Amino acid sequence: MEKKKSTVHLMVAKEAPQETALASRFGGRPLIPRAATPVWPCCRECKEPMQFLGQLVLAPEKGERLDRLVLLFMCSADTCETWDAEQGANKAMVVVGNSWKIWEPPQVGGSGTPLLRSDAYGVEVVDWEAQAGDGDAYDPARQSWADAHKVARRKVVGQMFGQPSWLQSADHPECPTCGKEMAFIAQVEEGPRYETSMNFGGGSAYVFCCGSHAAKFLWQQ
């Protein structure tokens, strides 16, 4: 049987852009619309403020001019169910705007885990063609990109759009605003450096968004 080739939009780690630049990146402080005054998200389970993981830039919606940004937060406590899109131990926020400012995290007491990561990196989206093996083309694409560039596979920090490569069964969250199945926007790996990586249990996170209604994420291992 002939195996089909498909193009995967890999996210490859690169040097972190300036924090003020409207760019997809992991680490650093989040950007929010200049006029916004949101409250830093707290974990619904342990009530502690969550750590900012990173942000993904999305193009404006059809007929709109405002850029969209999805901000990802996750609780650092081992005891909270951070994998679940609905438990409140992680949060994806979609914010829209055309003028941005840096969102300073709140001050926390000595015992709290840092609200910002110790690592920061940008992402470059690379279109890479690969042959799907038994599953989808994402894993083969990740491996062949790493092989072709003679670097570790973890330098590929995910993919944008395309098809999610599920580690468990498919799990598309519903939009809390309109009830429709949310669109898949990114799959995110734990990061290019083991010591500073995000904790997805060794697996991947999956990010979804519905227009400017809402965003959600979950992880699987």
Query: In this chain, which of 34, 98, 178, 221 binds Zn ion, going by CB under 5 A?
Result: 178
Query: In this chain, which of 22, 46, 120, 183 binds Zn ion, going by CB under 5 A?
Result: 46
Nearer to Zn ion, 192 or 211 (CB): 211
Calculate the CA 193 to chain-centre distance.
16
Does position 31 interact with Zn ion (CB under 5 A)? The reply is no
Residues 86-115 that bind Zn ion (CB under 5 A): 89
Nearer to Zn ion, 60 or 133 (CB): 60
- Please give the Cα distance from 38 to 129 (Å, whole number): 40
Query: In this chain, which of 31, 43, 56, 132 binds Zn ion, going by CB under 5 A?
Result: 43
80 with 46: CB under 8 angstroms? yes
As a dihedral over the C-alpha atoms of residue 110, residue 113, residue 114, residue 117, rounded to 10 degrees, the angle is 160
Residue 147 belongs to what H/E stretch? helix 138-149
Does position 71 interact with Zn ion (CB under 5 A)? The reply is no
Nearer to Zn ion, 83 or 128 (CB): 83
Calculate the CA 42 to chain-centre distance.
18
As a dihedral over the C-alpha atoms of residue 138, residue 219, residue 120, residue 137, rounded to 10 degrees, the angle is 0
Nearer to Zn ion, 36 or 178 (CB): 178
Give the number of residues in contact with Zn ion, rule: CB under 5 A: 12
Does position 74 interact with Zn ion (CB under 5 A)? The reply is no
Sign of torsion, CA 109 111 112 114? Answer: positive
- Please give the Cα distance from 221 to 211 (Å, whole number): 27
Query: In this chain, which of 8, 10, 80, 132 binds Zn ion, going by CB under 5 A?
Result: 80
Residues in touch with Zn ion (CB under 5 A): 43, 45-46, 75, 77, 80, 89, 175, 177-178, 210, 213
